Amino acid sequence: MRLLNQFFKVSILVLFFSTMTFAQEEQQAPMYVIHTDHVNFNKMAQYEQVAKELKDNCVKHNVKDANWLTVTAEDGRYMYVSEIKNMAELDQNWMAELFEKMGKDAASAMLTKMDECYDKHGSEILHYIPSLSYNPEGYSRDGMNFREYHFLYYHPENGKALGDAMEKIKKMFEDKGVKNGYNVYHSGFGSDESYFIVAIAGKNSLHVAQTGEENDKLLGDEREAVFFEMIQLASRYDQVNGEIRPDLSYAPQEE
C-alpha cells in the first residue's frame, strides 16, 4: 500500500470542493482522508498477511504519527480511514517514521509485497455531515462492526435539492422516534464525482435487514414519497457492504 502523501500538494489545497452546498459545515465537522486499495481477489490472502504485518510493525515500533481505521468491502476494497484536523496535515509523511524505525530495506520489501496485490488505488477526503446524520439519544454502535453503505451520486446542480430531501428523511426519523441511527458523509477533494454516503451499522447483514424492516413499519407508507423525493435526484445509486476491521486498524499507544 502506497499512502500517497504527495498526492495532495500544498499549492492546490485552496481548491473548492465539488459542491459548496455544505461547504461551511464540512469545514467545521470532522473530515477524513481515505486511502483505498482495490485488491485483486486472487491476492486477498497475501494482502491480508502484509496488512497485518504493517500493523504489527507499527505496534512494535510504536509509530506515533500513524493512526487509521481499516474498513474492508465486499468488492475487494481495503479502506484506511484517518481523521485529520485540517488539509495541512496531508503534508505529513508518517511513513518516514516507520521507515526510520523499521529500516528502509525491510519497510520497502513489506510494502512491495502489498503493492503486488492490486492494480488500482487512490486517496480522497470525506466529510462527516452532522446535519444530515441521525443519531438518537441512547443509540450506540458498540459491538456493531458491519456496515451497509449507500452511495448517492448526483450532478452538482442537484446538490442542494438532494441535501434538502435528506433533511426531510432525518426529520421523519425524528418524528417517528426511530431508535437506530445512521451517519452521512460527503465526497471531498480527490473524488472525481459528487456523492453522499449513508452508513448504517449493524452486527451483521441480517441485523441490518431486521432493523430496516422494523423502521419501515414504524415509518409507515409516507416513507415511500419521502424516499422517492431523494432517490429521483440521484444520478446513480450503489450499495456496498463492509466491515470495520480492528485487527487491521492501528492507533499509537497513549503515554
φ, ψ dihedrals at 125, nearest 5°: -100, 140
Q: Do the domain assignments include residue 15?
A: no
In a domain, 10, yes or no: no
Q: Residue 54's domain is classified under what CATH number?
A: 3.30.70.100
- pLDDT value at residue 234: 97
Can you tell me the mean pLDDT for 113-121?
96
Is 235 within 8 Å of 156 (Cβ atoms)?
A: no
Domain boundary among 97, 126, 155: 126
Question: Which pLDDT value is given to residue 93?
Answer: 84
pLDDT class of 10 with cuts at 50, 70, 90 = very low
**Residue 72 sits in the same domain as residue 82:** yes
Looking at the fold, whether 194 and 109 belong to one and the same domain comes out as no
Last residue of a domain, one of 109, 126, 143: 126
Give residue 220's region: left, alpha or beta (phi > 0; psi -120 to 50). Answer: left
Residue-wise pLDDT tens digits, 147-186: 999 999 999 999 999 999 999 999 999 999 999 999 999 9
Domain count, the chain: 2
Q: Can you give the pTM of this predicted structure?
A: 0.87
127-157: pLDDT as tens digits: 999 999 999 999 999 999 999 999 999 999 9
pLDDT at 254: 77
HSE at residue 202, side-chain half, CA atoms within 13 A, is: 16
**Domain match, 156 and 234 both:** yes
In a domain, 94, yes or no: yes
